[in-house]
Structures are given as C-alpha cells and as structure tokens.
Amino acid sequence: MTATRVLVLNSGSSSVKYRLLDMRDGSRLAAGLVERIGEQTSRLKHTPLAAGTGTREVTGPIADHDAALKAVAGELARDGLGLDSPELAAIGHRVVHGGRRFTEPTVIDDTVLAEIERLIPLAPLHNPANLTGIRTARALRPDLPQVAVFDTAFHTTMPESAARYAIDVETADAHRIRRYGFHGTSHAYVSRATAELLGRSPEEVNVIVLHLGNGASASAVRGGRCVDTSMGLTPLEGLVMGTRSGDLDPAVIFHLMRVGGMSADEIDTLLNKRSGLIGLCGDNDMREIRRRVDEGDERARLAFDIYVHRLRKYIGAYCAVLGTVDAVAFTAGVGENAAPVREAAVAGLEGLGLAVDGELNAARADGPRLISPAGARVAVAVVPTDEELEIATQTYALVGKHD
C-alpha cells in the first residue's frame, strides 16, 4: 500500500494543533486541537473531516504532551485513521526557529534534534515546545520519518544588507543577532499561490505578502525568493500586531529601564503582550475595533490609523526594495477578512500602481481572488494562507514514496 497521509503537528507550550491530510489531493482527513495541557481543565477538540461526523470534545486533565498525543492518536484511531496505519507516510512538525542552519525542511534525526536545541536561546518559548512535540511523536512511531519545517527557512535567502542590523559585527555574531523573520511557511505558500492566481510561475513575479493575523509580518519576494521581511531577531519587529508593538526606537527600552524602573522581563511582556492594538485601544480583534470605529470610538480609530500607517510604510518600503511589483497579497485573519484594512492600506497609492476595486474588495469568497480594478499595473489579491497544507506538502515532497 502506498503511504499518502501526512500528520502535521504544531506543538506549543501548552497546546498541540494537528491536521491529518491525504497528499494525493491535499484533502483534510481530520483536524483538532489540544489545549491547556498540564492543567485540570485540558480539552481535546477533534474534527473527523473525512467521516463527516461532528466535532468531538474530550475534557479533563491531560498531564503532558505525551498524554496529549496519545489522546489524539486514540481519536484518530476511532475514525480508522490511527497513527499505526501503513498509509501514514510521515509526521511534519512546525518548528519556529531554524537559525541560519536550516534553510529547508529537514528529516529529523538525533543531530537535527540537537541543533534545534542549540537554537533555544533564539526562541526560548517556542523551540522547547516544538522539541517536546517531536520527541513525543518519535517515541510513538520511531520507525516513521519525521520532518521539521521551519518558520524561518523561507527568509534565509535574504541578502546580508536586509538580514544584518547596523550594529557592531563582532557583538552581533557572538550572540547570533540578525534578522531571521518568521511566518515563513505562510509567506512561501502565499507568494506561490499569488503567482498561480496570476497564471505565472513564481520565478517570474515579484510579490509583497502581507500576513496580517494576530501576529503580523510583511515580506518582499523576488522571483520566489524572500529578499526582505518585517520580523527580525524575534517576531516583535515590524508591523503593529494584535498585542505586539512592532518597530520602535530601541531607546524606549533603556528609557523604561532607567526612568520607568522596569525590568527586562516586564518590558518584554509590555512589548509582546500589552502593546499593539490591545495596548492602544484595549481590543486586539479587528472585528471589534471596526465595530467601535463605526460607533465613533476615538481610541479605536487611533489604533486603526496607527496600524494602517505602519502597514503603508512597509508596502512603500517593499515597493522600493523590489523595484517592480507584480502583486500585493493580503492573507491571514485580518488580511483575508478585513476589507476596511485592505482599502485603507492602499488608498491613494495609485502613483505606485496600487488600487482596490470597492466592490471586489467588499465581496466575500473562499479562495484566492483579485481585488484590484481590471487592467491595474499591480495586482492586489486576497490569498488565504494554509500553513498546515504547506508543512504537509514540504514534508511529503521530502519523504513521500511517489510510486
């Protein structure tokens, strides 16, 4: 029997998101989420998409990732999709930080595990959780190929001029300080899907991808290769996000330490969790912010304006980085759903060849679609992202037996 299934695992510190796909057509067989691992109130939500039956929920304590994955395996087995099936070709793991070492998806062995571990100082919250997921899955199916797909990999093609900060080179290198970028799986998928929407190959087009979710990042992609991205050493740099500040003068941090008496950890929390939209107006959900704007709420209006101002600066910057732009693609929760953000982001940019058609922009649709007026110099598109499918595709390309 040909093994055509791939299980994608995205392991967080207290959660595991998963999806099982059939790579013959990329269809979803099952998906789910285990939350609050290690607490009394853990919850497993499992949706057996192939079986067409409804979502099942299991609540009660799930002690650790090992127990979580075993519970997931149990639910999959109930639908005849058990992890012991010969149809399972591989497990693909999302790994947040691959440093400079991992430029491509990589089959995991002990050496690779050790290298991901060596990168923990660069992603102290994410890489340990990703590693736990990998170790647990390997223990469960030691014979099965497991592949790490890195959030940073797509950005490793950035030239040094974009990847380096202008600080002392020895200090930067000693501490591995450089711009790595994140959301790479999404930027890779969306830039390729945008080329496809234009009916051209990725090598032929220059695309600006705007991944606007709760986390947000922009990238400039020339001929299928990333040449700049807005997140840096960590996901804090760049656009205004749901709870992160994005760009700010680094001296703000010294000021908060010296004058505000705050510790490094307090400032870390402030900038990552209590800034961005939530810091500006108390809400980080764009739906709620738009509702408040429509009601005349001034703080929500200001938050929206600051968000859009930063976004426009990056669009302009990446037009300059690329020289010629074929398409601007909006993706993720805000990018795919918030028409007012898209409209405001390109308003008045006709000089750069950018415009949206009001009706096309307001229309709701599922797949990739153009929202620029017919004949526009630059295509503006909404291109839904699918990070799980991209991880599965990259995993399967590496290990799939295509006989």
Q: How far apart are alpha carbons 8 and 389 in whole angstroms?
A: 8
Q: Give me the least distance between CB of 255 and ligand AMP, in Å please.
A: 29
Q: Give me the least distance between CB of 240 and ligand AMP, in Å please.
A: 12
Q: For ligand AMP, which is the closer residue by CB, 92 or 213?
A: 213
Q: Is 151 a catalytic residue?
A: yes
| Single-letter amino acid code for the residue at 238 | G
Coil vs helix vs strand at 25 = coil
Query: What is the side-by-side strand order in the sheet with 56-59?
Result: 56-59, 43-47, 27-35, 16-22, 5-11, 88-95, 146-150, 106-107
Tell me the CA distances in angstroms from 167 to 26, 162, 164, 177, 317, one per residue in order: 44, 13, 8, 9, 21
Q: For ligand AMP, which is the closer residue by CB, 133 or 213?
A: 213
Q: For ligand AMP, which is the closer residue by CB, 108 or 338?
A: 338
Give the footprint of ligand AMP on this chain (CB under 6 A). Answer: 213-214, 242, 284-287, 332-334, 337-338
Q: Are 318 and 349 in contact (CB under 8 A)?
A: no
CA within 13 Å, CB half, 121: 5
* Residue 252, number of CB atoms within 10 A of its CB: 14
* 377 backbone φψ class: left, alpha, beta (φ>0; ψ -120 to 50): alpha
Q: How far apart are alpha carbons 31 and 20 in whole angstroms?
A: 6
Q: Give me the least distance between CB of 278 and ligand AMP, in Å please.
A: 10
Q: For ligand AMP, which is the closer residue by CB, 131 or 286?
A: 286
Length of the chain: 403
* Nearest residue to the partner ligand AMP, using Cβ: 333
Q: For ligand AMP, which is the closer residue by CB, 258 or 364?
A: 364
Which two three-digit tokens encode residue 159?
């030239």
Q: Give me the least distance between CB of 151 and ligand AMP, in Å please.
A: 14
Residue of 110, 151, 247, 386 with catalytic role? 151
Q: Give me the least distance between CB of 186 and ligand AMP, in Å please.
A: 9
Q: How far apart are alpha carbons 114 and 116 in whole angstroms?
A: 6
Q: For ligand AMP, which is the closer residue by CB, 205 or 241?
A: 241
Which two three-digit tokens encode residue 209?
């991808």
Which two three-digit tokens encode residue 202?
């990725």
The residue written with tokens 């299934």 in the block is: 5
Q: Give me the least distance between CB of 288 and ligand AMP, in Å please.
A: 8
Catalytic positions: 151
